[in-house]
Structure 1
Amino acid sequence: MKIQSTYSHTNPEIEIIEINGELKGRGAIRFEKYLYSSLDEGLFSKILDLKQMKRADGLGLNILENFIRRGMRIRLYNAGLEMQMLLKISGKEEIIKIYNCQEADEAVLLFEKEILEEKSPDNQNIKRRDFKRRNTSLQVAFHGNNSDKGNVSYKAIIENLSEGGALIRQIDSINKRAGPRRVTLEMVAKSLCNFHFTLNSNDDSKLIETNGECVWAVRENEKQYAGVRFRQIEQNHAEMIKEYVCRHKSR
């Protein structure tokens, strides 16, 4: 999925984003990172051109809804019938709104009339991300409960980390007889126990141990990703992660 960005020549506060490809799976995760960067930079007005978008999924819609509910002003245009039906079936058409037009200038005029002529929201009320995060390649191990197999051991790579949770990839279940097996979807909505990793491979004092919950997971070709929210993390471990993240440029 490619993201092409320009700003309206009549109103530079409005960013026009052309999505080329699929707003699903890994593409949706990439777009989420892009919107978080905009949120951090104070750029809150977006018009999405979907003419070149091939398809979207529930994860893509949930990401759009999340940012709209945080206060980001997002509207769509050039949406195909598939996207319109997806919004209708998901019940999100009143939240994720589509303009019935095909040109960027017309979409900007509609956007200004609907949103920018209203009383501008106080930027202090925009809900920014709760925690800064850092890209990593840390190894993690944890346990999860599978209804068919009972308690299952997993190992994975942490792609990015914050004191509130992690994005993990290359998720393998460990079976003593069969060896590792690549999985993802069986983890959704499951509690993850003994989620442990080391912030510095040469220093055992940087060992982090907590519990978590898998809040979403996607599988795209041979790649798997899952979002983990930490539960009951000890304060000193949260502070260690915060210090680790803040020592490096956040993502």
Structure 2
Amino acid sequence: MTEHETAEAGPDGLVSVLTQKVVLTSDWLPAYQRVPRHLFLPDTIWPGRAGMNRQDDRVIRPEEPDVWWQAAYRDAPITTQWDDGAYTGPGKGKIPSSSSSMPTMVFSMLDALSVEDEDRVLEIGTGTGWNAALLCHRVGPENVVTVEVDEACAREARVRLQDVGFNPLAVVGDGARGYPQKAPYDRVIATCSVGSIPHAWVEQTKPGGVVVAPWGTGVRRRSRCPSRRR
């Protein structure tokens, strides 16, 4: 079994992999069980070739439901949008513009966030909505603000969140600016790589709060996250 595979394709198999890696803790297990990953994936995904043994990167759920399900429960990232939605073909587009992060990364970052019950959390990069849903279960949807630059991604994520019974404040906007209207926050988490921490995030975080973001050296400064995830 490779690092991209699960013992059995499905939520329980992925739990086994993540617990063996000591990234899915007992604090986050109830959230994982409440909002499984497949509920936050579109019908068309690009899981890549890692462990998939296929020529075509694209998987369409109605056409290949078993392959789609297996991809959903591998511990691997899944591209869910290319070129801001302009490319939907069978291969790869130019730039992956939204994805569902590798579950190991998702739960490692959530663990690093060290949330307390009822903490107010600002998420930068709604993506598919999965990370926001996990946060909603943990701290309550009334305590979650999530910002997404892509209007279509934000709209689809909002529907998925509502389908599982969560209604956090989902904002379309420039994540680098945070969301000062609901500041201050106890925790800030970014689901996109950054080369520097925007000062707005620091200003909107309470003293003693925590900011967690994937650090990418050499990332070009942009007004939007260069790689939206989850």
TM-score by length of 2: 0.30
If asked which structure has higher relative contact order (CA below 8 Å, sep 6+), I would say 2
Between structures 1 and 2, the one with greater helix share: 2
TM-score by length of 1: 0.29
Between structures 1 and 2, the one with greater strand share: 1
Larger radius of gyration: 1
